Amino acid sequence: MALSPPQAAQPGQPYLVSLNFWNESSGTLVDPTALQLDLTYGEEIGFAADAAGPYTYTGSSAPAAGTIWRTGTGQYTAWWPVPATASSGVYVANWTATYGVNNDQFLIFENFPLASGFSPTAATGTTADIGYWTGSLAYQPAWSPSAFTIPFGAVDSYGITWTLLSVQGWDSPPTAVGQIIQRSADHGGWPTAQFYGPRTVTVTLMASAPTQALRDTARALLQQAVPFSDLATLTYNEPVPKVAYVRRNATAVVGETYPTLADVVFSIPLIAPDPRKYSAAQQYASSVTSTIATPLTFPFTLPVTFPAGLPPGQQGILAVNSGTFETRPVITVQGPVTGPSVINGSTGQAVTFTGLSLAASDRLVLNMDARQAYKNGNFTPADPSSAWFVLQPGSSVIYLTGTGSKNSVLSATWASSWI
């Protein structure tokens, strides 16, 4: 069995990675006292979870799936049985070797690709390279029964191969508002509040079609998937897939170049009014009140822990933001309850509705981004003293209090957020 590098790994096939361990002082191959291999996706160990392993050398000298074996002094090989469902992209072989009188540890990294190979083109039976990066651009106009979806790193139903070449602007949005005011008769300045502006993104995408006519179909599909006044969903499958909500950037045009008669390369200028990048999967949590609660009574001291020690008559849900930036949930209160108060138990902020009564069939929806609430679809103002809150990275506890709230339901939807 030949060693695979520098060839790409293939789903469902064995893949071998090798290590030669040298003593830097003597320039000779030596055996480490311990050896471990972790395979990660996209980034080195410590920044990404294991995609396979860890595999530990236990003295084997014969090939076997899922093991490391010694082939000579300082020479080792590992066998990764690649799952048939493995995602395409760049993987990292992370070797951890222990050596020396002080048991020093050495980390050795090697990148290798895992590709789906060449995908058949449905219309002609020919082949096309789908690239390493995947995702999609999807837009659902009001008049269409289905969304226009451009799949990245895939072949669509027309037999058109869509290859994602680059994504620019995925790193950080600009800071659009904020300044430093010079101190009067003194050195330095005073910082004003500063905020992120909209995120600008440029996607470079190639469509490879079986015919020139289908190339023009690709052009039409792409134009329909990039709205100019509404928002489309841009999904970029990093090791942790993320989405941004985008549209065409002002007066910029979707550029097209034609390497061949059947290929077209698009340069797509996009702007995301919301600079956050969200997790592709939304999260949901809910709780039902089993006893009668009293409004705005805090028989506990912040910070609190959840779920242990919830005061009688209060219900709560645990909302976890796994990202690096605050996110804004949509919270729903299903009656019955009078004078409902939705409280962030981690910060003490509360959105209150004094005098509002919800029957068992009534729903009060709080949009923490728009800072507006709607009862059964009708705008309902919160108390002027309310503090609309966000979910900071980490865990937040959300409570409901109110009069006559037995059997009421508190629920929330949110997505983890990155900047």
The full set of domains in the chain, from first to last, is 14-114 (2.60.40), 118-174+191-279 (2.40.30.200), 283-418 (2.60.120.860)
Radius of gyration of the chain from its Cα atoms, rounded to whole angstroms: 28
On the 0-12 / 13-18 / 19+ scale of CB atoms within 10 A, 231 is: middle
Of 1, 84, 96, 2, the C-alpha closest to 40 is: 96
Percent of the chain at pLDDT above 90?
A: 53
Count CB neighbours of 20 within 10 A.
Answer: 12
**Taking residues 325-334, what's their average pLDDT?**
95
Q: How confident is the model at residue 179 (pLDDT cuts 50, 70, 90)?
A: confident
**pLDDT on residue 131:** 60
d(CA 50, CA 5): 20
Q: How confident is the model at residue 135 (pLDDT cuts 50, 70, 90)?
A: very high
d(CA 383, CA 17): 63
pTM given for the model: 0.61
On the 0-12 / 13-18 / 19+ scale of CB atoms within 10 A, 160 is: buried
**pLDDT on residue 128:** 53
Sign of CA dihedral 203, 274, 150, 241: positive
Strand, coil or helix: 79: strand
Please name every residue paired with 193 in a beta bridge, in sequence order, or none if there are none: none
**pLDDT on residue 3:** 41
**Taking residues 226-246, what's their average pLDDT?**
91
Q: Report residue 41 as tokens.
A: 């996706």
Let me know: does 250 contact 202? Beta carbons within 8 Å. no
Of 268, 248, 251, the C-alpha closest to 166 is: 268
Amino acid at 360: A
Average pLDDT, the chain: 85
Q: Is the pLDDT of residue 5 over 60?
A: no
